[in-house]
Amino acid sequence: SQTIHQWPATLVQPVGSPLSLECTVEGTSNPNLYWYRQAAGRGLQLLFYSVGIGQISSEVPQNLSASRPQDRQFILSSKKLLLSDSGFYLCAWLLTDTQYFGPGTRLTVL
Amino acid sequence: KQEVTQIPAALSVPEGENLVLNCSFTDSAIYNLQWFRQDPGKGLTSLLLIQSSQREQTSGRLNASLDKSSGRSTLYIAASQPGDSATYLCAVSLSGSARQLTFGSGTQLTVLP
């Protein structure tokens, strides 16, 4: 069966520090992968998606970047965090038209 | 640009009631529509997927309908239970290989015992 992992589960970082969130999928190959952010009082916003290794598309201009170094690994990064980067970050993958979500990472930037 | 709206934003009902959650979208050129459930502090759980060519889908006590031409979907929950308390989100996807989702802001449901 397919599973999706995200880590860390929670993270508290100071403004200006770097960020690296990781998402991995098991049990499938070459999935479409997605990063979403859910900020307090706001809906889910698509940040990046990838249809294959090294192929990254950005949906909104921001302080973040994404990379896909391996088929089933999707990484969200930042060189310098802003207060506005706080939120709940969710990774998802696509299986026959249905998107399945990971458990999420709660990021607090202080 | 696709916009998705969910009404009401919050809903509180006594246990056992049947209820309907509403979702509307501005661009009818969708590929499919998904309903999700989100418990506090958790990720999203997929409930139902309706393809653009379908009118409804059912899973247990849940029934989702889709009227693509009018840009509307409803999620019907029969015989609600306290365990149904959660935020319910609808999302529409575009055609194309990426299948990006655009989400509504959700309906927070509380079922009172």
Q: What does the pLDDT look like over A58-76, one tens digit per residue?
A: 887 678 999 999 999 999 9
Q: Count of A–B CB contacts within 8 Å?
A: 59
Q: Determine the average pLDDT of the residues in A82-106.
A: 93
Q: Among all chains, which residue has been given the structure tokens 């015989």?
A: B79
pLDDT tens digits, residue range B68-101?
A: 999 999 999 999 999 999 999 999 998 776 788 9
Identify which of A78, A85, A73 has the alpha carbon closest to the alpha carbon of residue A29.
A73
Q: Determine the average pLDDT of the residues in B48-75.
A: 96
Identify which of A30, A61, A98, A28 has the alpha carbon closest to the alpha carbon of residue B47.
A98
Cβ–Cβ gap B100/A42 under 8 Å:
no
The predicted pLDDT at position A27 comes to 85
The predicted pLDDT at position A40 comes to 80
Cβ–Cβ gap B51/A97 under 8 Å:
yes
Higher-scoring residue by pLDDT: A43, A49: A49
The predicted pLDDT at position B104 comes to 95
Collect all residues of chain A within an 8 Å Cβ-Cβ radius of residue B23.
none
Q: Say yes or no to pLDDT of A3 above 80.
A: yes
Query: Looking at chain B, which residue has its C-alpha nearest residue A59?
Result: B100
Q: Say yes or no to pLDDT of A85 above 90.
A: yes
Q: Give the tokens for residue A49.
A: 């998606």
